[in-house]
Structure 1
Amino acid sequence: MQKTVLITGANRGLGLEFSRQYAEAGWRVIATCRKPESAKALLALADEYSSVQIEALDVTDFAEIDGLSEQLADEVIDVLLNNAGVYGDTPEHGFGALDYQVWQTTLLINTIAPVKLAEAFLPHLERGANKLIASVSSLMGSVTDNTSGGSLVYRSSKAGLNAALKSLSIDLRSLGIGVLILHPGWVKTDMGGENALIDVEQSITGMRQVIKSFTLSQSGQFIKYDGTIMPW
């Protein structure tokens, strides 16, 4: 039976490559982004693969999330893949000149929205085979690994995401639903920059393997794209 993955932030970078690889592997892909009409690469992917369904979704709009959940009420979702995210930090807005509105928005997108999506699509996941919530976090969310400081906005948003997902892994275990926290590595994307160590294809191939081999005993773990367990 064909499996289904719902991916947020699917119009570029990691989300686009997740969509491409899952479609190529024969999955049904529900690819979401804020403005599908201008997502040229994603539209081209949908033209290439009939299994790719594009839906408009702004993860900061919880009414939109609920609306999409209702629209897809009869669907089975095997993997909910929370990929949408922003960096938030800028050189001109470090400590002493922080933009608190940007910080709030970053927390909304990176930390709160993935939990809202899990809540909204819980019934769809319960009917799935994988029953997995997978979220793209970052090593920068690790308190243990933080030896350089800086990036207050991004670090706090990902640390908050990790903490929330760890709680969800405990709360949802009785339903048989797993929670996986992923570190994609330092990837050559708009966010990662050209000096990053790995390309998008390598990162996504690795994370898909981690997802594929996931068992409920791993729920709540923070895992790198190559299978390495990350420090909290």
Structure 2
Amino acid sequence: MTQHVLITGANRGIGLALTELYLKSGWSVYATCRDITQAPELTALQRIHEHLFVSELDVTDHHAIEQLSQSLKAISFDLLVNNAGYYGPKGYGFGNTDADEWRKVFEINTIAPLKLVEAFYPQLKANQPGVVACLSSKVGSMAENTSGGGYIYRSSKAALNSVVKSLSNDLLPQGIICIALHPGWVQTEMGGPNALIDTQTSAKGLKQVIDSVGEADSGLFMDYQGNYLPW
């Protein structure tokens, strides 16, 4: 039986690499991006893979999320990957935090993943046990924060981890596993050219972790190599 995954932010970086990997593994992939006209690699993939379905979605538009869920209500999803993310401004210091950008980062990194789970919960539950994988970051770990700074992105990922923990408590009784994942320092637009690993390495590791998770892992924070991370 074909498995189904929904991946947000699939037009580039880790999202695109995950899309390619799941397609190669025989899954039906429902990929979203904010602007299809700016997603040439994703649309090129769509032309050669009959099991790739691309939808335009701004994850901060909650009505659009509901509409997408309704349009896909006949699909039972095995996996939801909340990958879409936004770093916000870089290089600012204490005393120079842009509050408007902070709100935007929270909308994308923290609020949107929860709204997506709420919208697609019926489809995930229908294919019990479903898995919700939220791409977080080690910089959201309180224990790992020894350098300060990065107020906007750090706090959005710490808050996302809290969302995942609450989701795990609420949804595990229905058989839905929720995990937070650190993809590593990856060579993407966000990670920059000096990052340690490429998107294919990250995606391969993330998929292996997702494939192996069980109920005991729900609500936990793990990296792409399967190591457990502290909150």
Q: Specify the alignment match of 1:175 in structure 2.
A: 174
Checking the alignment, whether the CA contact within 8 Å between 2:182 and 2:222 is kept in structure 1 is: yes
In 2, distance between residues paired with 1:20 and 1:47?
A: 13
**Alignment of structure 1 residues 1-232 onto 2, 5 Å:** 1-91=1-91, 93-232=92-231
Is 2:128–2:174's contact at 8 Å kept on the other side of the alignment?
A: no
TM-score normalised by structure 2 residue count: 0.98
For 2:186 and 2:228, the matched residues in 1 are separated by 18
5+ unaligned residues in a row in structure 2: which ranges? none
Report the RMSD for the aligned CA atoms in angstroms.
Answer: 0.9
Supply the AA of the counterpart residue of 1:101: D
Shift of 1:20: 0.4
Q: Given the two structures, how large is their TM-score scaled by the length of structure 1? A: 0.98
The amino acid that maps onto 1:41 is: E
Structure 2 distance, partners of 1:99, 1:181, is 26
Equivalent AA in structure 1 for residue 183 of structure 2: P
Counterpart residue type for residue 181 of structure 2: L
SS of residue in 2 equivalent to 1:172: helix
Contact 2:7 2:29 in 1 (8 A): yes
- Matched residue count: 231
Secondary structure, aligned partner of 1:121: helix
- Residue 180 of structure 2 aligns to a residue whose secondary structure is strand
Is contact 2:136–2:180 with CA below 8 Å preserved after alignment?
yes
Take 1:89 and 1:143, find their aligned partners in 2: how far apart are those partners?
Answer: 21
1:94 positional shift: 2.9
Structure 1 residue 36: deviation in Å? Answer: 1.1
**Does structure 2 conserve the Cα–Cα contact (< 8 Å) formed by 1:4 and 1:29?**
yes
* One-letter identity of the residue aligned with 1:183: H
- Structure 1 runs (4+) deviating above 3 angstroms are none
- Separation (CA, whole Å) in 2 of partners of 1:36 and 1:77: 22
SS state at 2:185 partner: coil
Mapped to 2, the partners of 1:112 and 1:150 lie a distance apart of 22
Report the Cα distance in structure 1 between the residues aligned to 2:222 and 2:38, rounded to whole angstroms: 33
Partner SS, residue 2 of structure 1: coil
Residue 31 of structure 2 aligns to a residue whose secondary structure is strand
